[in-house]
Amino acid sequence: MTGKIKTYWQNFIGGEWVDGATGERIAVENPATGERIAEVARAVPADVDRAVAAARRVFESRVLWEMRPSERGQIMFEVARQLTAMTEEIALLECLDNGKTLANGRNEVALTARYLTYYGGMADKLEGRQIPLGKDYLDYTVHAPFGVSAQIVPFNGPLPVGARSICCAFVTGNTVVLKSPEDSPLSLFKFAEACERAGVPKGAINIICGYGDDAGAALAAHRDVDHIVFTGSVETGKSVLRAAAERVVPCVMELGGKSAAVVHADADLDRTAKAIARGIFFHSGQICSAASRLLVHRSIHDDLVARLVVEAEGRKLAPGVEGHDMPPLISAKQLDRVEALCKVGQSEGARVATGGSRLPGSSGHFMRPTILTGVRPDMRVAREEFFGPVLVVIPFDTPEEAVAIANGTDYGLAAGVFTRDLTLAHWTADRLVAGQIYVNEWWAGGVETPFGGTKRSGYGREKGQEALLGYVQTKNVGIRL
């Protein structure tokens, strides 16, 4: 299977494919087998300088800003067409460097194309306004681009997460330098190919791959970067914010979560079990908005846990090219961390209903789907993000107690409510502190619905019309007639 893909990938800077300044390479491995499948040119600070300079030249040329917005949108439509034509190749890459199934890889290409067409269609609909100041004045506002947008995206969904940031920046007239994740960079290089084929102005979109503490840090701190988009851990996010604060650079930050699913006593248990299982076990829990905390009314606790155990134990762990329900974790380091946290939970008094350890005898980074019961809200496993397929279960007795537990962490990205009572659903949703609330279905919503965090989960919004406002600044023009 590895013979079907390129074994060496260069960075995309200024519309050209180039090696890194030092000639070093980053090895990319298949998390399902542990084998090396490719190498990418390692970008270092000198390459960041080159990419930012290319983006700066295009921005200052005003070539994007002087296009009709609909023209920028049409370019994104063409990128979507080019990308869609590569669906099978990209799906395979997502299997091999990210552990996804072929079906999930295909879905990610379709989702990426949807972002491109959605924001391409919004390009000519972001309008200013005229402000009445009396007969002697004309006053109006313009949504102006920031300039060079630096974007750092995570390993778990590099293609759709990267594309939605790129296209929001591009259709509003910004240029982009994006650092792909070193663990799973390949699909974003295919995105760069699509940009090349679609006729994106050279240097408007640059994609590089380097390590976070090197290329990523240099990009966040670069003097010619005007705007930063970051998705990742809280600790890395704080480093990015410190660099941004030195130059007063605006940011869009999505920093993970410990999202709670509140299940009231009247919930449909079969439907709820399937929704929660998908919410925590899809992509092995390597999703920032995963349903990682289950808050369940004590009267239905045992019934729901039993259904979830069946859901967990029915999932197959195998390489994505073979078809499976549970992909591997991205790295041996992440597998070790998730397994160690499960042991911490047990030392604190949690009980393992199923799972709790890695898949024995596998050379890949597979973690068995895990359910921990007997969890108290003050335990580490109830407060720390695993970023793995581990569900912690906490019982409650009243709606007020459930809300207090749900809001009792430093995170506030997503939350869910499961109940047949619409009034109770509204009551709970109104009190949950999170950027997005799902009712009776985890991940209810789509490209059109705004997504982002509160508290330590970050700020700013991706997806939906609101996302575009994070890529522009309002300029007011007042004219004395």
Residues identified as active-site: 254, 288
SS3 of the chain: CHHHCCCEECEEECCEEECCCCCCEEEEECCCCCCEEEEEECCCHHHHHHHHHHHHHHHHHCCCCCCCHHHHHHHHHHHHHHHHHCHHHHHHHHHHHHCCCHHHHHHHHHHHHHHHHHHHHHCCCCCCCEECCCCCEEEEEEEEECCEEEEECCCCCHHHHHHHHHHHHHHCCCEEEEEECCCCCHHHHHHHHHHHHHCCCCCCEEEEECCHHHHHHHHHCCCCCCEEEEECCHHHHHHHHHHHHHHCCCEEEECCCCCEEEECCCCCHHHHHHHHHHHHHHHHHCCCCCCCEEEEEHHHHHHHHHHHHHHHHCCCECCHHHCCCECCCCCHHHHHHHHHHHHHHHHCCCEEEECCCECCCCCCCCECCEEEECCCCCCHHHHCCCCCCEEEEEEECCHHHHHHHHCCCCEECEEEEECCCHHHHHHHHHHCCCCEEEECCCCCCCCCCCECCEECCEECCECCHHHHHHHEEEEEEEEEC
From the number of C-beta atoms within 10 Å of its C-beta (0-12, 13-18, 19+), residue 397 rates as exposed
- Measured over the CA atoms of residue 233, residue 234, residue 239 and residue 245, the dihedral's sign is positive
For 254, phi then psi, to 5°, come to -125, 110
Closest to 252 in 3D by CA, of 466, 51, 433: 466
151 pairs with which residues across the strands? Answer: 178, 229
